[in-house]
């Protein structure tokens, strides 16, 4: 499976999990922006970067931090790492990388 197809599959898997938890999701398909998915519910906003088997590199984390400055205070910036054959992702907030 090529990397693009794998990333798309994981993004869709993430969206299904979020929708089942009551979120409305927007996928940023073919975007070079910092977030892959924006999830919204009555509690707030979750901006998510989805990765396979790895965490975002330092340059990617800097882009996420820069984008976070223009978001409302109740927005969470998250990184979801899907390891191969995992049923659940490992989720970290952006602040946990510092």
In a domain, 49, yes or no: no
* Tally of CA atoms within 13 A in the half-sphere of 43 that contains its CB: 6
Residue 73 has pLDDT above 70, yes or no: yes
In a domain, 53, yes or no: no
Residues 6+ apart with CB under 8 A from 6: 52
In a domain, 1, yes or no: yes
Radius of gyration (C-alpha) of the chain in whole angstroms? 13
In a domain, 78, yes or no: no
Query: Strands of 37-41's sheet, edge to edge?
Result: 24-27, 37-41, 44-52, 75-82, 90-93
Scanning the structure block, which residue is given the tokens 């205070």? 73
- Predicted TM-score (pTM) of the model is 0.90
In a domain, 51, yes or no: no
| Whole-number Å distance between alpha carbons of 32 and 72 | 21
Range of the domain at 16: 1-27
In a domain, 23, yes or no: yes
Please count the structural domains in the chain.
Answer: 1
| Whole-number Å distance between alpha carbons of 92 and 65 | 14
Over residues 8-52, the pLDDT tens digits come to 999 999 999 999 999 999 998 766 778 999 999 998 999 999 999
């Amino acid at each position: 499976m090529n990397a693009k197809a794998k990333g798309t599959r994981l993004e869709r898997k993430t969206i299904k999990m979020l929708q089942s938890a009551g979120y409305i999701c927007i996928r940023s398909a073919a975007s070079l922006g910092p977030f892959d998915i924006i999830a919204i519910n009555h509690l707030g906003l979750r901006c998510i970067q989805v990765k396979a088997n790895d965490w975002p590199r330092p340059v990617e984390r800097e882009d996420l931090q820069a984008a976070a400055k223009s978001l409302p205070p109740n927005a969470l910036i998250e990184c979801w790492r899907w390891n191969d054959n995992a049923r659940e992702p490992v989720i970290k907030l952006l602040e946990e990388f510092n």
